[in-house]
């Protein structure tokens, strides 16, 4: 306790905790890429390290220009941030004052409610559908005069489910034009479904029609394997990007991160190969689990969701006993990242020997 004049209510916020670094074992708890950084990143970052006595380029001009070229967009529509979570915070800061409402699907990315509450906003969490997808119809219906921001996550973390193009477009058209919607596509590169909505192409098309209220978030943390350097980006209409720049923490994206991202963008075919390996492993792992009676929603990400309900924490412990770290959300489910083939084999061996796995499964799937 302290007598300092701190903001009230902060004591209720959860502290974000990551697994202890270097704890060893098989790390399938944070949706990181199993492979190291793409070719060229090591040299590019080694060069960048020599310059870290200087502040970074705050505009991230080189990376911004390369992203703009990649997507055929003006540089003014691209905002860089210290991971896409940094941009989530900025999006909240440009929209919300104390008491304003933020709509999120739930379960979804655990960071949304904490950041929204940090911004002073009131969180309206809309339960997922029985198919473990964000309930876009209910989310649209929940919008009120107080709503300032809506988060949509596809593939949804932690359930992996991908929202269809049509349902997304219907949703965006149902949202009032003055309410900002954030389409979080952190796992977009893994989706691989040609019918899935490409959020950046969609935002670009909307901007052309003068509609500014949907923005797309992507990150270098997942498919690009750069979680450790913290860089993500937002594609939005220019007035939104302009506001995001005004609330940005100066120099938030460091030189090493900028150079690593630029080097990664040059490795398109290598990226495709890796993403393909992950997708194959994801399907192989899922098929085995489903065959054994586990409920596992189809996933478009580099992870799978096992809605084990009360068996979630025991499953986590069972995996940990075999030195496999997975992410359990007590009473709800377990999220397992797709790792290298031998790691997925270990995970499957653990699932195969989990006594309660199949028995628990049918029970929870009806209640979720």
- In the complex, the residues that contact ligand PLP under the rule CB under 6 A are 31, 83-85, 109, 153, 157, 184, 186, 219, 221-222, 227, 232
Q: In Å, how far are 58, 158, 159, 163, 361 from 110, measured between CA atoms?
A: 28, 9, 12, 19, 23
| CB nearer to ligand PLP: pick between 95 and 302 | 302
Q: How far is the CB of 99 from ligand PLP (least distance, A)?
A: 25
Q: How far is the CB of 183 from ligand PLP (least distance, A)?
A: 11
| CB nearer to ligand PLP: pick between 30 and 292 | 30
| CB nearer to ligand PLP: pick between 87 and 350 | 87
| CB nearer to ligand PLP: pick between 143 and 153 | 153
Residues of 340-353 as b/e, b for ≥16 C-beta within 10 angstroms? eeebbebbbebbee
| CB nearer to ligand PLP: pick between 56 and 301 | 301
| CB nearer to ligand PLP: pick between 150 and 311 | 150
Q: How far is the CB of 222 from ligand PLP (least distance, A)?
A: 6
Q: How far is the CB of 153 from ligand PLP (least distance, A)?
A: 5
Q: How far is the CB of 186 from ligand PLP (least distance, A)?
A: 4
Residue nearest ligand PLP, CB atom distance:
83
Q: How far is the CB of 319 from ligand PLP (least distance, A)?
A: 20
336 touches 357 (CB < 8 A): no
- If phi > 0 it is left, if psi is from -120 to 50 it is alpha, else beta; for residue 99 that is left
| CB nearer to ligand PLP: pick between 318 and 325 | 325
| CB nearer to ligand PLP: pick between 326 and 350 | 326
Q: How far is the CB of 191 from ligand PLP (least distance, A)?
A: 13
Q: How far is the CB of 256 from ligand PLP (least distance, A)?
A: 15
């Amino acid at each position: 306790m302290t007598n300092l004049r701190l903001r009230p209510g902060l004591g209720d916020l959860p502290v974000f905790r990551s697994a202890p670094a270097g704890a060893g074992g098989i790390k399938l708890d944070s949706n990181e890429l199993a492979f190291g950084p793409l070719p060229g990143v090591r040299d590019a970052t080694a060069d960048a390290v020599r310059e870290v006595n200087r502040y970074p380029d705050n505009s991230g001009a080189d990376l911004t220009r390369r992203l703009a070229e990649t997507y055929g967009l003006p540089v003014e529509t691209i905002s860089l941030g210290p991971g896409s979570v940094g941009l989530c915070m900025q999006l909240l800061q440009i929209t919300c004052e104390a008491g304003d409402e933020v709509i999120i699907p739930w379960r979804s990315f655990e960071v949304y409610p904490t950041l929204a509450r940090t911004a002073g906003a009131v969180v309206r969490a809309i339960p997922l559908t029985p198919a473990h997808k964000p309930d876009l119809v209910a989310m649209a219906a929940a919008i009120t005069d107080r709503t300032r921001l809506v988060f949509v996550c596809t593939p949804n973390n932690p359930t992996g489910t991908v929202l269809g193009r049509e349902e997304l477009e219907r949703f965006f058209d149902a949202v009032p034009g003055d309410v900002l919607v954030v389409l979080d596509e952190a796992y977009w590169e893994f989706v691989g479904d040609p019918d899935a909505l490409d959020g950046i192409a969609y935002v670009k098309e909307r901007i052309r029609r003068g509609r500014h209220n949907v923005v797309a978030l992507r990150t270098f943390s997942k498919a690009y394997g750069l979680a450790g350097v913290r860089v993500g980006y937002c594609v939005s209409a220019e007035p939104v990007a302009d506001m995001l720049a005004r609330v940005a923490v100066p120099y938030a994206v460091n030189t090493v991160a900028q150079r690593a991202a630029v080097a990664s963008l040059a490795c398109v075919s290598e990226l495709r190969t890796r993403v393909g390996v992950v997708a194959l492993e994801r399907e192989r792992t899922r098929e085995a689990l489903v065959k054994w009676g586990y409920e596992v929603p189809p996933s478009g990400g580099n992870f799978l969701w096992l809605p084990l309900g009360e068996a979630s924490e025991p499953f986590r412990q069972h995996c940990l006993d075999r030195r496999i770290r997975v992410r359990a959300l007590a009473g709800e489910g377990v999220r397992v990242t797709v790792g290298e083939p031998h790691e997925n084999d270990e995970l499957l061996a653990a699932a195969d020997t989990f006594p309660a796995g199949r028995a628990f499964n049918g029970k929870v799937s009806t209640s979720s």
